[in-house]
Amino acid sequence: MKPETRIGFGWDSHEFKRGIPLRIGGVELAHPKGLGGHSDGDVLLHAITDALLGAVAAPDIGSLFPPSDPKWKGADSAIFLWAALQRVQEAGYAVVNMDSTLILAGPKIGPHAAAIRARVAELLGIPESSVGLKAKTPEGLGTDNAAVAQVVVLVQKAPSSAAASAQGPVQDLT
């Protein structure tokens, strides 16, 4: 029998690079540097994606969307999150809440926290009151040129498969 609830954990890091946009949690933040690497470098959405996949023991983001595949260069990371959400729903679960910590020297997340929480809530299809977001500076870690995201999600058995498909992810890529 499937357990009623499961948790998932996700971790990601990206290096800051000049001259590219900074996207965190699906929100573009004004900053001289953005996060390089896989897709649009959205460290928070990647960690959420891995947390969702981990909750249902699915393969991780790098296995499903290999960074070596040019198809994902510059891609909107919401695509990865939706695919992971689909896996959660196919396994018969729905997201209850998520919590996250960002570790980065800058920019300050406080002024953008409401916008990031709203966007993440929208992507996950849960209320903003179920999206936790905390930001820390990397004291003593020597990682001032990187952004790290840590995420946990709780999922619970969906009431029925019909309900699960009714609240399926929105395929609006804007």
Going from the C-alpha of 126 to that of each of 130, 141, 168, the distances in angstroms are 6, 33, 12
Judged by beta carbon, residue 12 or residue 95, the one nearer Zn ion is: 12
- When CB distances to Zn ion are compared, the closest residue is 46
Judged by beta carbon, residue 77 or residue 164, the one nearer Zn ion is: 77
Q: Give me the least distance between CB of 62 and Zn ion, in Å please.
A: 8
Q: Give me the least distance between CB of 37 and Zn ion, in Å please.
A: 6
Q: Give me the least distance between CB of 41 and Zn ion, in Å please.
A: 7
How far apart CA 61 and CA 83 sit, in angstroms, is 10
Q: Give me the least distance between CB of 94 and Zn ion, in Å please.
A: 25
Return the range that interacts with Zn ion (CB under 5 A); candidates 45-53, 81-89, 122-130, 151-159: 45-53
| Options 6, 23, 46, 87; binder of Zn ion; rule CB under 5 A | 46
Judged by beta carbon, residue 65 or residue 93, the one nearer Zn ion is: 65
How far apart CA 147 and CA 151 sit, in angstroms, is 13
Q: Interface with Zn ion includes 50 (CB under 5 A)?
A: no
Going from the C-alpha of 75 to that of each of 36, 44, 49, 65, the distances in angstroms are 12, 14, 14, 11
If DSSP states are collapsed to H, E and C, what string results for 24-92? ECCEEECCCEEECCCCCCCHHHHHHHHHHHHHCCCCCHHHHCCCCCHHHCCCCCHHHHHHHHHHHHHCC
For the window 104-143, what string marks contact with Zn ion as x by the rule CB under 5 A? ----------------------------------------
User: Which residues are CB-neighbours of 70 under 8 A, at least 6 positions away?
Assistant: none
Interface ranges with Zn ion (CB under 5 A): 12, 46
